[in-house]
Chain A
Amino acid sequence: MSKVIGKRVTRVEDARLLTGQGKYIDDVGTPPNTGHVAILRSPYPHAKIVSIDYSEALEIPGVKGVVTGKDVHPLLNPFSVGVSAPVHYYPIAIDKVRFVGEPVAVVVAKNRYIAEDALEKIKVKYENLEPIVDIERALEKGAPILHENVGSNIANHRTFHYGDVEKAFEQADKIIKHRFHFPKYSATPVETYGIVAQYDHSSDSYTVHANFHGPFVLHSIMAGALKIPSNRLRIIIPKDIGGSYGIKAGIFPYIVLCSVVSRLVGCPVKWIEDRQEHLAASSSCTDRVTYIEAAVKNDGKILGLKMKMIDNVGAYIRAPEPACLYRNHANTTGAYDIPNLMIDAYAVMTNKLPTGLIRGYGGQETYFPLERIMQIISDELKLEPAEVIRRNLIKKEQFPYRTASGGVYDSGDYEKAFDLLLKIGKYDEFRKKQAEARKRGKLLGVGLAVIVEPSGSNMGYITIALTPEERKAGLPKSGCSEAATISMDPMGNVNVRISTTPSGQGHETVASQIVSEILGIPHEKINVVAELDTATSAWSIASGSYSSRFASLGSSAVYYAAHKVKNKLIKIAAHFLKAKEEDLTIEKGNIVSKTDPSKSISIKRVVGSAHWNPLSLPEGMEPGIYETAYYTAQAEPPDDQDLINSSVTYGFVADLVTVEIDPETGDIHILDYFTVHDAGKLLNPLIVDGQILGGLVHGLGGAMYEELVYDEKGQFLTGSFMDYLCPTAPEVPNVTIKHIETPSPLTPLGAKGLGEGNTMSAPVVIANAVNDALKPYGVTIDSLPVTPNKVWNILNQSKKQEVSS
């Protein structure tokens, strides 16, 4: 069988997706008598619920029931979360609302139309409370408090000291610091949340179909909230999920809400979220204020960093938060060799939508201040930004590289990738062009950013939110397990079952490539089943589709499961052929001896025997071909010094962006976007490039368009795509993607995750490019998105100054 791993194999998923035959949550049939859900949501950011009168809603023909927080309260526990602050978070407001869009009542009706109409008949009396939306104001004494029993708006606070930061700051020639604000934005999959939930009285159990994508540690949290043994919550994920980019982890409160509503109303229920609900009340990234201070030598070498990060987790801290603060903990210093690091990390609660995973999860918030300060350092020291980057990059000989905070970068050659970037981006040439253009009054800019792309979260990293003493009280947590099952039927055909809940990334294709290469069967003949059923699939807490974990972990589970099958086939063949196992190999559907070509048997016959004639198998061997492999990479819990390797593999991304700014309108035109990736061994370069482009466009949104805007009173202002702007095809710039491959020594195929890298890098590289273009104006871009409006104001303010001076 020819090599198929690493080839640009076209996606097996596309035939059904492109012909409208995908099987999404809304295509899942509903049981008879299913009621349809509409949710009444709070119009206020912060208010007491005085009363809810839904008697008129109940009178509407077709309405099956109305459920409020008061009805739900006795049946639920608050969701557990990995911080010690006693925040009580339920999927529906009980006596107080804390963000615009928070569920207040649920109507179940014969159809959605009736349910929506009935919402208008519910009368809720609120008593308004003073809202708080500003991150730093939320920390101040006297600020309105969201959760009285917590006593402040701080959900989590930890300080970390790595190396000798004070000494680094003493030895510095210069200390360069700035404050940055990263905005709250979303992921906007075409398919919104969807749930079909059914409560079964006789077994006191729930069966839920939902486009939830993990992490499956949330399954335990849902079962805990529902007060049931976890095997009484069966969650089934459809074959196709219409995009997620992280945000579909945030469906879990709605799974619990729909489950308990099904129980209370006494019928199965279905809810498909609409777009306005999705923007206002699903999930988002955190907005973050970072104070960063760099201790630098005059040659640009950074000796140490201090970072105060304040993450806004919204109205309730909910699992897996405060993970956004800590997912990049091990790679806080990015691609640089910076041994001294101080982190002061806060998660605060304000009257905004609660946060969670979105693509890049914490990466864009971390790299925005880091890569901006790199440019500011070069400006202040009057050095080329490329020079400052190069001076600090981790060198090839240093791998595996241990970061200050405990990360172990598995492999890389950052200088090689960075040199390639400067070459393809014609960096020096552009600098000349820029200087000439400036003379003609044109504003050209070039931005650079280099980042480390973590993939395959170590589940233990979230426990860094607790102190070492607090952690000791619980079970040590670590690992990143994934599972896969491969079976062969009596005719010798292969089924592969994966638990990575793909949402468009092409896991079925890549799984089939891997199995094909190992078992010598054409990949088109392999059937991959991506539905996940918590009652029947092999899965573990880390299962799911997040943290770019398929290439590093999911594919490894498939790899080892395929090897288990191969080993069994070889064992059976050796028995039949009276040959040694080590002499046998798979070739064109047969198992043959390398030393004696006359010894050959077809795989079909071997498999047939395992099913049809089990007694012919080697003594002690089980019949059938059905193998499951669980895989985990080396991932340890945080240690007593708070060192944590928060991910398994670490890729590298280097971006160069050139822009031209229209001095009249402030319009930002991206001339070129160059991106060089090192994601180890690529499993399917076609899929890789698609993933990179998607991630890049999401990052472009964060850089230039997308923001969930709240006014100072907590009112949400961007509830439709008219106000929440996403980049579409015309906004996508020219993108040039190049790869280098330094295989990961930690995964069997040498692969690392990717797809999130440019979401992390694009916001800052574009900000750097814009700032470079505006250098003559002496401004510092320290917040996003950089809109024409913002740029226009900068240009006009400086014009005014010129006039007045």
Chain B
Amino acid sequence: MNGKGSVTLNAGIEKAWEVLLDPEALKNCIMGCKKLEPVNENKYEAEVSIGIAAVKGKYESTIEIADVQKPNHYKLVVKGEGGPGSVEAAGVVDLVPIDDNKTELNYTYEAEVGGKVAMVGQRMLNGVAKLIIQDFFKKFNKELAKSEQSI
């Protein structure tokens, strides 16, 4: 499964970058994320509960951030495993400034799922991926607004 897309963030590039790499903000934005803790500088451990088709359950995953070119580009490598199966995904994020308060974010991803979730959820995976991503950016813009207020 793969896909790409682009979204406009309501913040300048520096701000957007900062919030994108803030574990607390990310935790709030990822659907079903129960835990997101840094293990070292560019690696996190996460626990995500999510249901796809009839397959609901918890994934324990590691998220690695690689290829960092602050504040324009980075790559996310996600490896998750749990009762419903396994996920291996890689996403590439590129930020392009539009103006002081707007940034364009372009992303591409490739993901492979295994186990039960692949067996019974295959038909919906693309839809689910889009849903999760849309949900992420909706919440992310809220996080950006929140961090603006807190300044």
Query: Taking beta carbons and an 8 Å cutoff, which residues of A are in contact with B?
Result: 41-44, 100, 119-120, 276, 279-280, 713, 715-720, 722-723
In the complex, identify which listed stretch (B29-37, B39-47, B116-124, B139-147) lies at the interface while the others stay far away. B116-124
Contact A120 B120 (CB under 8 A): no
Those 8 A-B pairs whose CB atoms lie nearest each other, nearest first: A719-B119, A43-B115, A120-B83, A43-B114, A720-B120, A719-B120, A717-B122, A715-B118
Q: Which of B85, B115, B119 contacts A720 (CB 8 A)?
A: B119
B51 to chain A minimum Cβ distance, whole angstroms, is: 14
With A43-B86, A719-B120 as given contacts, are A120 and B57 in contact (CB-CB < 8 Å)? yes
Q: Known contacts A44-B86, A120-B82, A720-B54: does B114 contact A100 (CB below 8 Å)?
A: yes
A120-B58, A120-B82, A720-B54 in contact; A276/B120 too (CB < 8 A)? yes
Residue B25 at the chain A interface, CB threshold 8 Å: no
Contact-residue bracket for chain B: 10 to 19
B112 at the A/B interface (Cβ < 8 Å)?
yes
- Contact of B83 (CB < 8 Å), options: A119, A718, A719, A722: A119
Contacts of B113 in A (CB 8 A): 715
Contact with A along B88-119 (1 / 0, CB 8 A): 00000000000000000000000011111011
Assembled-state Cα–Cα distance A276/B83 (Å): 14
- Cross-chain contact A723 with B123 (CB below 8 angstroms): yes
- Partner of A43 from the list B53, B58, B116 (CB cut-off 8 Å) is B116
B83 CB contacts on chain A under 8 angstroms? 119-120
A720 to B54, CA, bound (A): 10
Q: Are B112 and A715 in contact (CB under 8 A)?
A: yes
- CB proximity of A111 to chain B, nearest CB, Å: 18
Least CB distance from A470 to B in Å reads 39
CB pairs A–B below 8 angstroms (9 shown): A43-B118, A120-B57, A120-B83, A715-B118, A717-B118, A719-B116, A719-B120, A720-B54, A723-B119
Shortest distance from the beta carbon of A539 to any chain B beta carbon, whole Å? 37
Q: Which residues of A contact B54 (CB under 8 A)?
A: 720
A-B contact count (CB 8 A): 52
* B124 nearest CB neighbor, chain A only: A722
- Listed in ascending order, the chain B residues whose CB lies under 8 Å from chain A are 53-54, 57-58, 81-83, 85-86, 112-116, 118-120, 122-123
B120 and A100: CB pair below 8 A? no
User: How far apart sit A713 and B118, CA to CA, in the bound complex (Å)?
Assistant: 12
Inter-chain CA distance A715–B117, complex, in Å, is 10
A42 to B119, CA, bound (A): 12
Once the chains bind, are B119 and A717 in contact (CB under 8 Å)?
yes
**A718 to chain B: which residues have CB within 8 Å?**
119, 122
In the bound complex, how far is the Cα of B54 from the Cα of A385, in angstroms?
A: 48
CA of A669 to CA of B144, assembled, Å: 56
Considering only CB atoms, which chain B residue lies closest to A119 in the complex?
Answer: B83
Of all chain A residues, the one with the shortest Cβ separation from B83 is A120
A contact residues around B112 at 8 Å (CB): 713, 715
Q: How long is the Cα–Cα vector from A720 to B55 in the complex, in angstroms?
A: 11
Contact B122 A723 (CB under 8 A): yes
| A276-B119 CB under 8 A given contacts A44-B114, A120-B83 | yes
A714 CB to nearest B CB, Å: 9
The docked-state distance in angstroms from the alpha carbon of A44 to that of B85 is 9
Contacts of A276 in B (CB 8 A): 116, 119-120
| Bound CA span A42–B85, Å | 9
Q: Kindly name the residue among A119, A720, A723 whose own CB sees the greatest number of chain B CB atoms within 10 A.
A: A720
- Contacts A44-B114, A715-B113, A720-B54: A280 and B119 contacting too (C-beta < 8 A)? yes
Report the minimum CB–CB distance from B79 to chain A (whole Å).
11
Residues of A within 8 A of B115 (CB): 41-44, 100
Residue ID in chain B nearest A101 by CB atoms: B119
Contacts A43-B81, A280-B119, A713-B112 supplied; 12 other A-B pairs, CB < 8 Å? A42-B115, A44-B114, A100-B115, A100-B118, A120-B83, A715-B112, A716-B118, A718-B119, A718-B122, A719-B118, A722-B123, A723-B122
* B-side contacts of A722, CB under 8 Å: 53, 120, 123
A715 CA to B58 CA, complexed, in Å = 20
Closest to B115 in A: A43
**B119–A716 CB distance below 8 A:** yes
Q: In the complex, what residue of chain B is closest to A121 when comparing beta carbons? A: B83
**Does the CB pair A715–B114 fall under 8 Å?**
yes
Question: Which residues on B sit within 8 Å (CB–CB) of A42?
Answer: 115
- Give the docked Cα–Cα distance between A713 and B119 (Å): 13
CA distance A100 to B122 in the complex (A): 15
Provide the bound-state CA to CA distance between A450 and B118, in Å.
Answer: 40
CB nearest to A125 among chain B residues: B81
Query: What's the minimum C-beta distance from B88 to chain A, rounded to whole angstroms?
Result: 9
Q: Which residues of A contact B86 (CB under 8 A)?
A: 43-44
CA distance A719 to B120 in the complex (A): 5
Residue of A with least CB distance to B57:
A120
Q: Which residues of B contact A723 (CB under 8 A)?
A: 119-120, 122-123
**B118 contacts which chain A residues (CB < 8 A)?**
43, 100, 715-717, 719
Report whether B82 and A100 are in contact in the complex, using a CB–CB cutoff of 8 Å: no
Q: How far does the Cβ of B53 sit from chain A's closest Cβ, in whole Å?
A: 8
Q: How far apart sit A713 and B1, CA to CA, in the bound complex (Å)? A: 12
Q: Nearest Cβ distance between residue A364 and chain B, in whole angstroms?
A: 24
CB distance from A720 to the nearest CB of B (A): 4
Q: How far is the CA of A279 from the CA of B116 in the complex (A)?
A: 11
Contacts of A719 in B (CB 8 A): 116, 118-120
Q: How far is the CA of A279 from the CA of B114 in the complex (A)?
A: 16
Bound form: Cα–Cα A280–B119 in Å: 8
User: Inside 8 A of A716's CB, which chain B residues have their CB?
Assistant: 118-119
Rounded to whole angstroms, the CA-CA distance of A704 and B112 in the bound complex is 28
CA distance A715 to B114 in the complex (A): 6
